[in-house]
């Protein structure tokens, strides 16, 4: 008798906040494996902010998930059956297998992983897509010089934590913005940022000003809204803003930018980007990041919930900033 | 007896809209000319949007005009007295001599002009700073490819008119935004743009959509506010926005950008710039522009008011879009 594959599909499109009702858990027996394909038992699922956008049927940088389709997502797992010459049972791999127990593939987009010195889950975070996102935005858009000040929002998250640590390695002053004293303490004490501003403390602009006495030369934006407004007011001439995420407005209501004229008066550069469109940099970035993780230089934190059935709650929590570090779901 | 120099100084700083009360006309006899200097009789004064910013005592890209100082401004004129080896009486020159009848200089920042084939006033417009502004923003920020769509606001103005004509020469679809049917007719029929949207007609987004059936790849922004919001909604992926001016908010009230998330979803680049910070491109740009003007390829229109005493009204009119083409004041 075939094993059962559990999968979570998109049941309906949210108009505002995401709730558990927008998802549906389904089960089906696994079909036989075709020649030239592999079957992977997914072990961990990555939960990322971009997933919110894929739930909308809107003009954006990627196709929406169709109603009834398995939710998109990056996974790490193990090959359990192979009819493909390049993969053997037992190989550890990462791919976009989505919110389900098992995935199959012809090998396209599936990468074999070496977990000798780098933990498997790190390939979904600091040594994976979030890490490359940080690397690209920092090096290819902000391109900071030693001694400059780099600010990053969602600083304790999977992307933000790497941005600040890479900025420090580049000789910059790294300032984080995060929600709550615990996250801010972690950002400074564990990750080594120079300062972290708690946007929940009620004095965002004043605290940010105190943390950036020389102004801000580069800003890596994951949040948008008031955090973007405040940082914009601190930008130095010729500053660069890497626009990676605007999670504050993902639930539908557009959050205006209060003073766009600062972009002109400070001659700023703003570049929106999505890291999957810059694949030419991934090998270099992944190599650098894996080396830094393996050596213990690049630190990270994970929030792991156990069980595929909890993936919706994990995403909902992430969208409300309840995760602390990289959000993962253990599914195998 | 020395001739009298009339000059207009900044009398007070506007809190909102500029009025005539913010200026004061003064007169004083000319002092003797020191060794190594030239005296220039200013013939035409250029009136430009940037002047509004210099009236504020605010953090911006340039020093404000001090209270009691002559208002800043570019001029063309004629050398009437020279104690400098490189200049002779009768030389036509351009410089930043400000809102006054006469200026003196040691030659720094003063450029001799050849008005054989290029009218003197064109050096304040299409073949001067406004033309270079258009050239830089179009070529160095928007960098359009043939067949792409370029939109420019304030399209009948000194900068906008050059942007669209250069875009046409580059093989692009050029779409203007201007205020009123007369300006729009001029932009299409005289300047050769493919289309022009009248933002005063009450259907800005719909009309812009109709004029940009393939979306917008490059946007040259002179205005801000609702015009920026509307154009942002039409941007194609990887579009570029050259942020040159935001005249709609120059009177103090910040105009928010309603949907900054488009910058991310469309992976746009926005670059604020001020052309005086890119002097390395001026010789190339000025050469190209003067050739195009001399050959009749690059067309322009001028609004000339007669008399230095009318310069304040000329600036106030410009800030309200009442000028039609390059605004000049004839002062000699």
Q: What is the pLDDT of residues A248-274, one digit of tens each?
A: 777 767 889 999 999 999 999 999 999
**Under 8 Å between Cβ of A227 and A196:** no
CA dist A260 to A200, A269, B72, B170, B229, Å? 24, 12, 25, 29, 11
- Give me the residue from B60, B268, B271 closest to A265, CB to CB: B60
* Residue A238 dihedral angles phi and psi, to the nearest 5°: 65, 20
**Closest chain B residue by Cα to residue A223:** B261
Q: What is the mean pLDDT of residues A73-81?
A: 98
Domain at A4-124+300-330: CATH architecture: Alpha-Beta Complex (3.90)
Task: Provide the token pair at A158.
Answer: 């999977």
Distance CA B263, CA A274 (A): 11
Question: Topology of domain B129-276, per CATH?
Answer: Rossmann fold (3.40.50)
pLDDT surpassing 80 at residue A222 = yes
Q: What is the mean pLDDT of residues A240-244?
A: 97
Q: How far is B256 from chain A (nearest CA, A)?
A: 4
Helix axes A282-294, A129-136, angle to 10 degrees: 110
**Closest chain B residue by Cα to residue A61:** B265
Structural domain boundaries in chain A: 4-124+300-330, 129-276
Tally the residues of chain A.
332
**Under 8 Å between Cβ of B246 and B223:** yes
Among residues B251, B254, B297, B311, the alpha carbon closest in space to that of B44 is found at: B311
* Residue A71 dihedral angles phi and psi, to the nearest 5°: -60, 140
| The predicted structure's pLDDT at residue A61 | 67
pLDDT surpassing 70 at residue A1 = no
Beta carbons of A53 and B265 less than 8 Å apart: yes
Query: Checking DSSP bridges between strand B4-10 and strand A326-330, what pairing results, if any?
Result: unpaired
Q: What is the mean pLDDT of residues A197-215?
A: 97
| pLDDT digit string, tens, across residues A147-174 | 999 999 999 999 999 999 999 999 999 9
Beta strands in chain A (DSSP E): 4-10, 23-29, 38-46, 75-82, 92-95, 102-105, 111-112, 149-153, 173-178, 195-198, 216-221, 235-243, 269-272, 302-306, 326-330
Q: How far is B71 from chain A (nearest CA, A)?
A: 20
**Under 8 Å between Cβ of B216 and B210:** no
| The predicted structure's pLDDT at residue A321 | 85
| The predicted structure's pLDDT at residue A39 | 98
**Closest chain A residue by Cα to residue B245:** A264
Ordered per-residue pLDDT tens for chain B, 332 residues: 578 999 999 999 999 899 999 999 999 999 999 999 999 999 999 999 999 989 998 766 678 999 999 999 999 999 999 999 999 999 999 999 999 999 999 999 999 999 999 999 999 999 999 999 999 999 999 999 999 999 999 999 999 999 999 999 999 999 999 999 999 999 999 999 999 999 999 999 999 999 999 999 999 999 999 999 999 999 999 999 999 998 877 776 788 999 999 999 999 999 999 999 999 999 999 999 999 999 999 999 999 999 999 999 999 999 998 889 899 999 98
Task: Provide the token pair at A157.
Answer: 């998250």
Chain B residues with beta carbon closer than 8 angstroms to that of A269: 269-272
Q: Is B132 exposed, middle or buried (0-12, 13-18, 19+ CB in 10 A)?
A: buried
Beta carbons of A272 and B249 less than 8 Å apart: no
Beta pairing partners, A102? A41
| The predicted structure's pLDDT at residue B252 | 66
Sign of CA dihedral B220, A260, B280, B38: positive
Q: How far is A229 from chain B (nearest CA, A)?
A: 10
This complex has an ipTM of 0.91
Task: Report percent pLDDT > 90 for chain B.
Answer: 90
Task: Provide the token pair at A302.
Answer: 């994970």
| The predicted structure's pLDDT at residue A60 | 65
Q: Collect all residues with Cβ–Cβ distance below 8 Å to B203 and sequence separation of at least 6.
A: none
Sign of CA dihedral A104, A108, A109, A110: positive
Collapse the DSSP code of A146 into the 3-class scheme (helix H, G, I; strand E, B; otherwise coil) and give the result: coil
Kindly report the three-state secondary structure assignment for every residue of chain B. Answer: CCCEEEEEEECCCCCCCCCHHHEEEEEEECCCCCCCCEEEEEEEEECCCHHHHHCCCCCCCCCCCCCCCECCCCEEEEEEEECCCCCCCCCEEEECCCCECEEEECCCCCEECCCCCCCHHHHHCCCCHHHHHHHHHHHHHHCCCCCCEEEEECCCCCCHHHHHHHHHHCCCEEEEEECCHHHHHHHHHHCCCCEEEEHHHCCHHHHHHHHCCCCEEEEEECCCCHHHHHHHCCEEEEEEEEECCCHHHCCCCCCCECCCHHHHHCCCEEEECCHHHCHHHHHHHHHHHHHHHHCCCCCCCEEEEECHHHHHHHHHHHHCCCCCCEEEEECC
Domain at B4-125+300-330: CATH architecture: Alpha-Beta Complex (3.90)
Place of tokens 């889950």: A121
CA B167 to chain centre: 17
Are B4-125+300-330 and B129-276 in the same CATH fold?
no
| The predicted structure's pLDDT at residue B96 | 97
**Closest chain A residue by Cα to residue B271:** A269
Q: Collect all residues with Cβ–Cβ distance below 8 Å to B85 and sequence separation of at least 6.
A: none
Among residues B284, B312, B327, the alpha carbon closest in space to that of B23 is found at: B312
State the Cα angle at B291 between B285 and B296, rounded to 5°: 125
- Give me the residue from B245, B261, B274 closest to A224, CB to CB: B261
Confidence of residue A21 (pLDDT cuts 50, 70, 90): very high
**Under 8 Å between Cβ of B323 and B317:** yes
Query: Checking DSSP bridges between strand B23-29 and strand A149-153, what pairing results, if any?
Result: unpaired
Q: Collect all residues with Cβ–Cβ distance below 8 Å to B287 and sequence separation of at least 6.
A: none
- Ramachandran category for residue B209: left, alpha or beta (phi over 0 → left; psi -120 to 50 → alpha): alpha
| The predicted structure's pLDDT at residue B60 | 65
Average pLDDT, whole number, for chain A?
95
Q: Chain B residues contacting A, CB < 8 Å?
A: 53, 58-61, 224, 228, 237, 243-246, 249, 254-261, 263-274, 277
């Amino acid at each position: 008798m075939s094993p059962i594959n559990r999968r979570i599909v998109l049941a309906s499109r949210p108009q505002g906040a995401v709730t558990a009702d927008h998802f549906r858990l389904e089960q089906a027996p696994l079909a036989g494996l075709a020649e030239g394909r592999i079957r992977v038992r997914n072990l961990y699922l990555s939960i990322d902010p971009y997933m919110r956008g894929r739930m909308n049927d809107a003009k954006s940088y990627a196709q929406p998930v169709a109603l009834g389709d398995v939710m998109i997502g990056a996974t790490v797992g193990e090959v359990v059956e192979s009819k493909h010459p390049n993969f053997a049972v037992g190989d550890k791999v990462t791919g976009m297998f989505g919110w389900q127990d098992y995935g199959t593939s012809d090998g396209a987009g599936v990468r074999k992983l070496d977990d000798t010195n780098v933990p498997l889950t790190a390939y979904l975070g600091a040594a994976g897509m979030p890490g490359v996102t940080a690397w690209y935005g920092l090096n290819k858009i902000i391109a900071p010089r030693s001694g400059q000040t780099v600010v990053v929002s969602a600083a304790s998250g999977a992307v933000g934590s790497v941005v600040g640590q890479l900025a420090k390695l580049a000789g910059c002053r790294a300032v984080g913005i995060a929600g709550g004293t615990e996250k801010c303490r972690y950002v400074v004490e564990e990750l080594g940022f120079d300062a972290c501003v708690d946007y929940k403390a009620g004095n965002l602009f004043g605290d940010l000003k105190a943390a950036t006495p020389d102004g801000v030369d580069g800003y890596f934006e994951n949040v948008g809204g008031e955090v973007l407004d405040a940082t914009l007011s601190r930008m130095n001439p010729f500053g660069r803003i890497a626009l990676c995420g605007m999670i504050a407005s993902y639930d539908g209501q557009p959050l205006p930018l209060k003073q766009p004229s600062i972009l002109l008066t400070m001659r700023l550069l703003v570049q929106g980007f999505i890291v999957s469109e810059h694949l030419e940099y991934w090998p270099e970035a992944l190599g650098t990041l894996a080396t830094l993780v393996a050596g213990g230089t690049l630190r990270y934190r994970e929030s792991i919930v156990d069980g595929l059935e909890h993936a919706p709650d994990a995403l909902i929590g992430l969208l409300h900033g309840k995760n602390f570090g990289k959000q993962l779901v253990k599914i195998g």
